[in-house]
Amino acid sequence: MVTIVLAERAPRMSVATDPHKKFAAYAHPERLVSTDWLAQNIGTPGLVVVESDEDVLLYETGHIDGAVKIDWHTDLNDEVARDYVDGEGFARLMSAKGISRDSTVVIYGDKSNWWAAYALWVFTLFGHEDIRLLDGGRDKWIAEGRSVSTDTPQPAATDYPVIERNDAPIRAYMTDVLQHFGNPLIDVRSVDEYTGARTHMPAYPEEGALRGGHIPSAASVPWARAAAEDGTFRSRDELDAIYRGEAGLKDGDDVVAYCRIGERSSHTWFVLQHLLGFQHVRNYDGSWTEWGNAVRVPIAKGDAPGEVPARA
C-alpha cells in the first residue's frame, strides 16, 4: 500500500533566496530581495524580473537589464468588466513575458512599489508561488546609480498552464466587507480621504466617488507609514509597532485592507501577509471608488473609526 504524505507546502524556491539580515526578522523573508542581491542574480536561469509602474512610459525610459514590463491596467485588468484577467488571459500574459509556472519572479516599480505590490497580489490570485518584491523598488535602484537599459527583451514564449483565479483567500468583495464587520479593517488612504475632507489623493485627479469618509470601524494607517524614506520597507520592529501596536492587530485576526482602487492597499496587504505573518488578510480592491458610490452602505466621517455596523 502506498502512503501519500501531504506535507504542508512551503513555496518552492527555484532561485536561492536573499539572506539579507534585515529580511530575516520578517515572517517570510523569502518574499523580498535587495538591490545588491538582484544585481548579482540578473541572468540566473529561472529568474524573471518584472517592472510594474504607475507611469505607463517609465519602463521605456530605462529599466533593469532584462526586465519585462507588466502594466496594471492594460495587462492585469479585464478590458470590459471591473475585474482581473481570467486564467486564460493570465496564462497568455505569462507566456508572452517568458514566465513559467516555476519561475522565480522579482517585481519592482515606482512609488515605493505600489504597483509592484499590486501586481504581486494579482499573481497571488493565480497561485504563482515564487514571487518576490525588490525592496526599495525602482527608485532605490536608480538612486544607487545602478545600470538601466532601454532594450526591450524578447523572451521565448512559455507553456504557462491555465489556472483560474482563487480570489477568496486574499480578495474581498463589497459583500464580504459587509459580512466582515466586527473584524479589523485597515484604511490605508491619506488622512484627508479617511476623514472625508476629500474623496481622492492629494494632487491626484478626482476619481468620482460620490461620498467621502471611511468604512465604519476601519483604523486609519496610511500605506506610506510602512515605507522608509528610501522606499524600502520599515524594519520588523517598526512595522509591529504600527500594525500590532497602534492599529491593535492581533495574531489570528481576519483583516481587510482597502484604499481607493486597491493598489495602495496591496502594499499594506504585502506587509501584513508576508512581512508580519498574518494569515487571513484580504485586499478589498473595490475600495473607496466602489464603497463611496454604493447605495445604502454605512459611512463614517471624521477622525474616529465609528461604531461597528450590524452585518448586512
Partner 1 sequence: METTAIPQQLAEIVDDFQALDEPDRLQLLLEFSRGLPELPERFREHPELLEQVVECQSPLFLTLEFAPLPERIVSLYFSAPQEAPTTRGFAGVLLEGLNGLPAAEILAVPDDVPERLGLTRAITPLRMRGMAAMLGRIKRQIRESPAA
Which sequence positions are flagged as catalytic? 259
Letters for 91-130 (x = contact with partner 1 by CB under 8 A, - = none) are -------------------x--------------------
Please give the Cα distance from 114 to 307 (Å, whole number).
30
CB of 19 to partner 1, least distance (A): 31
Pure H helices in the chain: 21-24, 35-41, 87-96, 114-125, 137-143, 174-180, 191-195, 236-240, 264-270, 287-291
Distance (Å, whole) CA 42 – CA 26: 24
Question: Cα–Cα distance between 300 and 102 in angstroms, integer?
Answer: 45
Around Cβ 265, how many Cβ atoms within 10 Å? 31
Of the candidates 16, 19, 40, 60, which one interacts with partner 1 according to CB under 8 A? 60
Contact status: 7 vs partner 1 (CB under 8 A): no
Cα gap 150→253, rounded to integer Å:
45
In the chain, the N- to C-terminal Cα span, in Å, equals: 50
Q: How many residues bind partner 1 (CB under 8 A)?
A: 17
Q: Judged by CB under 8 A, does residue 210 bind partner 1?
A: no
Q: Which stretch binds partner 1 (CB under 8 A): 50-58, 125-133, 164-172, 215-223?
A: 50-58
x/- map, 159-178, partner 1, by CB under 8 A: --------------------
Nearer to partner 1, 42 or 201 (CB): 201
Q: Which residue number, 111 or 274, has a Cβ lying nearer to partner 1?
A: 111
User: Residue 278's closest CA among 248, 305, 258?
Assistant: 248
- The three cell numbers locating residue 77: 485588468
Site map for partner 1, 227-256, x if CB under 8 A?
------------------------------
Interface with partner 1 includes 73 (CB under 8 A)?
yes
Stretches 13-21, 28-36, 56-64, 188-196: which one binds partner 1 (CB under 8 A)?
Answer: 56-64
